[in-house]
Every structure is written in C-alpha cells, then in structure tokens.
C-alpha cells in the first residue's frame, strides 16, 4: 500500500480520492458518484468543471499570474474590486483581497481597530461577537469566534473578547415572541457594551445567518436593525461576516440585503471564487476608508498573494458567471423548492426538529424529542451519523453543530451549488430521505 504523507483533518482516516467533478457531481477513484449537496464547505457554488472558468484561468495565466501588490496593480485585480463595489450594498466600495475567509475577518478586525486609531482613539480595540459564531481559524479570527470545539486547545492564547447570544428562536422563542427575543438580544448587546465600556470596543461582528456553529440560524427581518441601532448609539462599527452567506448563497447577492442594514465592513470568501482558487475579500465602506485616506494612508495588513492577478481573474469570471446565468435568482427559487421538500420530510420524520434558512443555505436540526426539543446526547453523535449515512448514499452534507457547548444541538447544512436544477433537487431529497430513514432506524433500534 502506498504511504500517504498528506496531513488530513483526522489522521489515520481513509478519504476517498476524487478524480474529477462535473456540475453538482464529484467522482472518486472507485467510480462512486456524489452529489455535492454542501458545495464542499459551502464553497463550490457554481458547480465543478465549468469551462468558462477554466478558459479565464488559462487566459490570465498566459498574461501574468503574479505581481506583488506593493509594486504593481493589474487589470484583473482592479476589475474585481470594481465589480465588488457594484454588487456590495451601500457605499462598500473598497476591497482588500486576501486568500481565505479567516484572513478576511481578521483584516476586518484590524481595519476596524485602525479606523479608531486614525481618529485618535487608541482604546477601542476589542471586538464584540456572538457565542454561536465562527469567524475563522487564525488566532484573531478565532478570538472573535464562539465555536467552543475549535477554540478549546488554544484558549490560553486567545483574546478574551466580549460576546452575546445569537438569535436562536427555535429554542429561545418559547414563551417569548420573536420581537421580544430580538429586544432581549439588543438589550444584551447594550448591557455588554456598557460593562466593557464603549471606549474599548471597535466593532461588533456577526454572520448574517450562522453557518458552521449553528446550521443556518436565521434572524428575523428586524434583528439586525435593532442590533445596529445599539452599535450606532455607542460608536461601534458593524462587521458582517458574509464568508459563508455572501455571493448569492442565500438568494440575495449578500445576505445582509434580507435584513435592511448596511454594514461598515463585509468579509467575504468561499463562493467568491467558488473554490476555483483561494480568494477572499474585506470590503470596506467609504466612511471607514476616508479615515485611512486622511490619516496614515496605510492599511496595516497584507499577504504575499493578496490581489494576485491569477486569483482575481478567476474570481471575476465566477462573478460574471453568476450574473450571466441568474444564479442568485436560482438560489432563491431552488432554495424555496428544496426547503418545501425538506419540510414535507420533517412532517413524517421523528427526529427533525427544525428546518431553517434562506435560498440554498438551509439548516436542519435533529432532536430526540420534537415536542420538548430535547437534543440527543453527545455520545450518540447524531450529526456524524447523518453526515455518514448521506455520504454512503452519495450525498454530501455539512456538519454544523458547534459541539460540546450545550448551545447547539445536532445540525447540518444543505447548500448545493447555485446552479442546481429542479430534477437535481428531487434527487438530493431522495438520497437525503433514504439516509434519514437509515439513521432513524439505527436510533430507534
């Protein structure tokens, strides 16, 4: 047997070797076909093997693949920045390119802190976040994240940033209305700001819809308006982490468009290049950039590969593809269709507690008791059972329980490519229902 020298997430575990992909499908060396029902980690949003993107890659490679961003600019990077300023809400017109979502949120954090410094305020350097959140794996991004499992080993080295609850109506609404829940969340934010001191907080960061740490937890239309009003009252910037939800995933170009609030800074990644190259961006408003332009004129961040023309050209081609084939609209339409089908399954299922989300960003939470909403014990590891049973059926779904914190139950995300057709959705639902039945039998037996 050939020895592998590749470090994998779980050492010693065997992973099938993928040979190629086509549309929503992936194929492994054994010839097994999988539907990419999660777009990998909510990334491959235009599907696999798209010829237009391959052509754009080759075109750019023929011109130039790399220049250093402190020496040159390129048409590819300039055009991508222009495109993002067109599709981003409000006056978010300035893009800082990085290579991953973690770098995008970490850059957002640094820009927020620098913004206050440029204004002569040096104490505003904490970021307030939410306990059910994931903003990335680097130390700064992890410091802002509530994902207990991913934090735990590094806890002593992380900043102890303040945090508040996330909107989790499935469990929090109980005796309260959604409106009362939102008032509670906003009040909690205000109380925390007063406890820490507004002069110590640069920004509030939130995913418009929570991904990895909750499974498409979706706020009400008013939630962000209430949270933003608190931020404004205390001079705190608002960073929307759209790494997972951005670029059409939720049926709008950016998920914040559902909630009628324009952030000061947006972090985006994943679907921005649809997995064809590492590419992410921190998109910054005019207001924030003005402070930089009239201050030190330097944004104190950057990576060797930032704004490299090869990745920029690929990402630009992905954004054109999304526009050309109306994939944001398709996400809204197919998402509603898929959600309807999963809700039908939920009526028959004994373990589906909640179906949530917008567009092709859907979360499914599993419970032991649907009436009392009691979660399964951790030992049963229902999330892994669901993921594995679907894998066997040839359907990839994304695990989304933050784990070990008692906050999130067992949950998964269904987020197929935005290119998916109605017939393909039917096949996703068929495979999912077979896997679900299998897990239900296992748990009852």
Helices (H), 88-222: 101-118, 139-143, 148-151, 169-172, 178-196
CB of residue 270 vs ligand PLP: minimum separation in angstroms? 6
Does residue 100 bind ligand PLP (CB under 6 A)? Answer: yes
Question: Do the Cβ atoms of 274 and 302 come closer than 8 Å?
Answer: no
A 10 A CB-CB count for 355 gives 22
Is 218 an interacting residue with respect to ligand PLP (CB under 6 A)? no
CB of 257 to ligand PLP, least distance (A): 17
In whole angstroms, what is the distance from residue 312 CA to residue 165 CA? 36
Give the burial string for 92-111 (b: 16+ CB within 10 Å, else e). Answer: bbbbbbbbbbbbbbbbbbbb
User: Distance between CA atoms of 264 and 127, rounded to whole angstroms?
Assistant: 14
Q: Which stretch binds ligand PLP (CB under 6 A): 109-117, 133-141, 162-170, 367-375?
A: 133-141
Sheet holding 25-28, edge to edge: 18-22, 25-28, 33-35
CB of 246 to ligand PLP, least distance (A): 9
Of the pair 280, 316, the CB lying nearest ligand PLP is at 280
Among 47, 89, 136, 363, binds ligand PLP (CB under 6 A): 136
Q: Does 411 bind ligand PLP (CB under 6 A)?
A: no
Is 207 a binding residue for ligand PLP by CB under 6 A? The answer is yes
Number of C-beta neighbours around residue 233 at 10 A = 11
Closest CA to 49 of 325, 417, 313: 417
Asked if 212 is part of the footprint of ligand PLP (rule: CB under 6 A), the reply reads yes
28-36, 96-104, 319-327, 380-388 -> range binding ligand PLP (CB under 6 A): 96-104
Q: Which of 40, 146, 219, 269 binds ligand PLP (CB under 6 A)?
A: 269
307/68 Cα distance (integer angstroms): 8
- Residues in Cβ contact with 103 at an 8 Å cutoff, skipping those fewer than 6 apart: 136, 138, 280, 303
Q: How far does CA 347 lie from the centroid of its chain?
A: 28
Residue spans of alpha helices (H) in 64-165: 75-87, 101-118, 139-143, 148-151
Least distance to ligand PLP, CB of residue 143, Å: 13
Q: Is 424 in the site for ligand PLP (CB under 6 A)?
A: no
Q: Does 135 bind ligand PLP (CB under 6 A)?
A: yes
CA quadruple 207, 208, 210, 212: dihedral positive or negative? negative
Which window, 95-103, 171-179, 251-259, 372-380, contacts ligand PLP (CB under 6 A)? Answer: 95-103
Rounded-to-integer distance, Cα 420 and Cα 418, Å: 6
Q: Which stretch binds ligand PLP (CB under 6 A): 88-96, 101-109, 310-318, 376-384?
A: 101-109
Site string for ligand PLP, 45-84 (x = CB under 6 A): ----------------------------------------
Number of residues that bind ligand PLP (CB under 6 A): 16
257, 251, 247, 203: which is closest to 227 by C-alpha?
203
CB of 100 to ligand PLP, least distance (A): 4
Among 106, 182, 241, 365, binds ligand PLP (CB under 6 A): 241
Regarding 101 and contact with ligand PLP (CB under 6 A), the answer is: yes
Nearer to ligand PLP, 193 or 243 (CB): 243
Q: Which is nearer to ligand PLP, 100 or 308 (CB)?
A: 100
Residues that bind ligand PLP (CB under 6 A): 41, 100-102, 105, 134-137, 207, 211-212, 241, 243-244, 269
């Amino acid at each position: 047997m050939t020895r592998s020298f590749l470090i994998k997430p779980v050492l010693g575990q065997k992973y099938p070797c993928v040979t190629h992909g086509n549309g929503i499908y992936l194929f492994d060396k054994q010839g097994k076909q999988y539907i990419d029902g999660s777009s990998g980690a909510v990334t491959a949003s235009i599907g696999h093997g798209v010829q237009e993107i391959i052509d754009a890659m080759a075109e750019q490679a023929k011109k130039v693949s790399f220049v250093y961003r402190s020496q040159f600019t390129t048409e590819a990077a300039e055009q991508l920045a222009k495109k993002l300023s067109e599709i981003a809400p409000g006056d978010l017109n300035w893009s800082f390119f990085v290579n991953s979502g973690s770098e995008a949120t970490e850059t957002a954090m640094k820009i927020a802190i620098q913004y206050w410094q440029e204004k002569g305020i040096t104490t505003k350097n904490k970021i307030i976040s939410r306990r059910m959140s994931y903003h990335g794996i680097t130390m700064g991004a992890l410091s802002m994240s509530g994902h207990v499992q991913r934090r735990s080993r590094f806890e002593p080295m992380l900043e102890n940033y303040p945090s508040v609850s996330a909107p989790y109506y499935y469990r929090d609404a109980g005796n309260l209305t959604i409106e009362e829940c939102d008032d509670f969340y906003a009040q909690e934010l205000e109380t925390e700001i007063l406890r820490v001191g507004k002069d110590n907080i640069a920004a509030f960061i939130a995913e418009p819809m929570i991904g990895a740490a909750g499974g498409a937890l979706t706020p009400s239309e008013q939630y962000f308006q209430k949270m933003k009003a608190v931020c404004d009252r205390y001079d705190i910037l608002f960073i929307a982490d759209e790494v997972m939800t951005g670029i059409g995933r939720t049926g709008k170009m950016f998920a914040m468009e559902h909630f009628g609030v324009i952030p000061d800074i947006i972090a985006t990644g994943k679907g921005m290049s649809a997995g064809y190259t590492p590419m992410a961006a921190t998109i910054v408003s005019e207001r924030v950039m003005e402070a930089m332009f009239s201050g030190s004129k330097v944004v104190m961040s950057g990576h060797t590969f930032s704004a490299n023309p090869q990745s920029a050209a690929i990402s630009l081609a992905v954004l054109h593809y999304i526009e050309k084939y109306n994939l944001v609209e398709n996400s809204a339409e197919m998402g509603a269709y898929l959600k309807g089908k999963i809700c039908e399954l939920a009526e028959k299922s004994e373990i589906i507690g909640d179906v949530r989300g917008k567009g092709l960003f859907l979360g499914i939470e599993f419970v032991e008791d649907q009436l009392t909403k009691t979660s399964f014990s951790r030992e049963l590891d229902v999330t892994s059972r669901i993921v594995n049973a679907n894998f066997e059926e040839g359907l990839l779904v994304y695990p989304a329980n933050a784990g070990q914190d008692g906050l999130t139950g067992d949950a998964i995300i269904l987020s197929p490519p935005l290119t998916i057709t109605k017939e393909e959705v039917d096949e996703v639902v068929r495979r999912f229902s077979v896997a679900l039945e299998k897990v239900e039998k296992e748990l009852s037996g």
